[in-house]
Homo-oligomer: A and B are copies of this chain.
Amino acid sequence: MAAKGGGAQGKRPRRQAGSVPSMQQGSERALSIERIVATAVELLDAEGVDGLTMRRLADRLGAGAMSLYWHVDNKEEVFDLALDSVLEYRGPQGGETADWRGAIFHMLEDWRAGMLRHPWSASLLPRRALGPNILSRLELLGRILYGAGVAEADLNGAIWSLWNYVIGATITRANFDLSDADMAAAQQRLAHLSEKYPTIERARLLLDNDWDGAFRKGLDFLLDGLVPK
């Protein structure tokens, strides 16, 4: 329900990173956090948020339904881990680039693209824990903005403004993606109500929008305001 704190700090002893599985070739069969998380992502991609069920996840892993609970505290933790696993950033980490604007665009567009590849992720992000990969992105953002001349007192405001924009844009876009047909139907229904909604009906608000272009344009405007020349 509520947003929760940092990384995965287990209460129970978990599998050591370096330990060799007892079966020599059977690393496919043994349960592990890594396999659980990867399979959860597959399941979420295929079936959406409501499709992720502890029972179905276990099934897909060829395990008994309750086996998951040795590796994981509860379903929420599965969500947290799946989410963060999808948000890793392998990009230039430099905070001292001359091209701060390019660096911000690169990271934020990569972020958005990653979430659109996993359409369940954007809606989940603001409600869930801030995992290490998200924190790294925020840290990078802060570093770039600071390097670009944003005053320390304005840093949090600037970071959150960009976060808000990216989150909002991506959640909206992801849900439109999921339901092109629905939006077309809605626009059609709008036509019958054109006395009530003439402006958005005429603009065909629910159809054919250039989401990527609009995203970049809004981001430009925001950065113009947030970063002093």
Residues of A in contact with B (beta carbons under 8 Å apart): 1-7, 9, 48-50, 95, 123, 126-127, 130, 132, 135-136, 138-139, 142-143, 146, 152, 155-157, 159-161, 163-169, 171-172, 175-176, 178-179, 182-183, 185-186, 189-190, 193, 196-200, 203-206, 209-211, 213-214, 217-218, 220-222, 224-226
Q: Please, which residues of chain B bring their CB within 8 A of the CB of A7?
A: 189
In the docked arrangement, what's the CA distance between A126 and B156, Å?
A: 25
Residue among A5, A48, A142 facing the most chain B CB atoms (10 A cut-off) = A5
| Total identical chains | 2
Contact A203 B152, beta carbon cutoff 8 Å:
yes
Contact B165 A2, beta carbon cutoff 8 Å:
no
Interface residue SS majority, chain A: helix
Q: Please, which residues of chain B bring their CB within 8 A of the CB of A205?
A: 138, 142, 155-156, 159-160
Knowing that A126-B171, A157-B210, A221-B225 are A-B contacts, what are 11 other residue pairs whose CB atoms are under 8 Å apart, sorted by A's residue number? A2-B178, A6-B190, A123-B126, A157-B209, A157-B217, A157-B218, A160-B209, A161-B214, A161-B217, A164-B165, A165-B168
Contact B221 A186, beta carbon cutoff 8 Å:
no
Point out the residue from B182, B186, B199, B210 that lies within 8 Å of A146, measured CB to CB. B199
Contact B186 A4, beta carbon cutoff 8 Å:
yes
Contact A3 B139, beta carbon cutoff 8 Å:
no
Contact A155 B203, beta carbon cutoff 8 Å:
yes
With A164-B165, A225-B224 in contact, do A193 and B6 touch (Cβ < 8 Å)?
A: yes
In the docked arrangement, what's the CA distance between A107 and B35, Å?
A: 48
Contact B189 A5, beta carbon cutoff 8 Å:
yes
Closest chain B CB from A118 CB (angstroms): 15
Closest to A199 in B: B142
